[in-house]
Chain A
Amino acid sequence: MITKEEILTALHDVKDPEIPKLSVVDLGVITNVEIPSDNTVLVTMTPTFAGCPALTVMKEDIKNRLEEMPEIDSAEVKVSFDTKWSSDMISEEGRKILKESGFAPPHVLGNELVQIDILKDAECPLCGSKDTELRNSFGPTLCRAIHYCNSCRQAFEQFKPV
Chain B
Amino acid sequence: MTSRTVNMKELSQIEKDAVKDLLFRIADDDLILGHRNSEWTGIGPILEEDIAFSSMAQDKLGYAQAYYTILNEMGEADPDTLAFNRSGTGEVNEKLYKCCHFTEYPIGEYDFSLMRHFLFYYSEAIRMEMLMHSTFEPLANLAKKFRGEIRYHIMHAHTWIKQLGHGSEESRARMQSALNECMPLALGIFEQSEYEDTLIEGGIFPGEDKLKEVWLEQITPVIAESALEMPDVNTIEVSNGGRKGFHTEYLKPLLEEMTEVYRIDPEAEW
Contact = CB atoms under 8 A, between A and B. Distances in A.
Interface of A: 47, 49-53, 81-82, 84-86, 113-114, 116, 135-140, 142, 146, 160, 162
A114 B152 contact: yes
B43 interface: no
B21 to A, nearest CB: 21
Nearest to A53: B58
Contacts of B152: 114, 137-138, 160, 162
A162 B54 CA distance: 19
B163 to A, nearest CB: 13
A51 B48 contact: no
Given A50-B66, A51-B63, A53-B58, A116 B155 contact: yes
Contact of A50 (B48, B149, B155, B158): B149
A8 B145 CA distance: 25
B146 interface: yes
A84 B151 contact: no
Contacts of B147: 113
Given A50-B59, A53-B58, A136 B149 contact: no
Given A81-B66, A114-B155, 11 more contacts: A49-B62, A49-B149, A51-B61, A81-B145, A136-B52, A137-B155, A138-B51, A138-B52, A138-B56, A142-B58, A162-B152
Nearest to B46: A136
Contacts of A52: 62
Among B55, B58, B60, B63, which residue has the most Cβ atoms of chain A within 10 A?
Answer: B55
A137 B55 CA distance: 10
Interface string B121-142: 0000000000000000000011
B144 A137 contact: no
Interface residues of B, number: 28
A53 to B, nearest CB: 7
The 9 A-B pairs with the shortest beta carbon distances in the complex, nearest first, are A51-B62, A50-B62, A138-B55, A51-B58, A138-B52, A136-B48, A162-B148, A84-B145, A51-B59
Contacts of B95: none
Contacts of A140: 51
Contacts of B159: 116
A30 B156 CA distance: 30
A162 B46 CA distance: 25
Contact of B141 (A49, A82, A137, A162): A82
Interface in B151-182: 151-152, 155-156, 158-159
A142 B148 CA distance: 13
A160 B148 CA distance: 11
A139 B148 contact: no
A146 B50 CA distance: 14
A43 B144 CA distance: 22
Contacts of A50: 59, 62-63, 65-66, 142, 145-146, 149
Nearest to A56: B270
B139 to A, nearest CB: 10
A162 B149 contact: yes
B144 A84 contact: yes
Contact of A114 (B66, B146, B151): B151
Contacts of A51: 58-63, 65
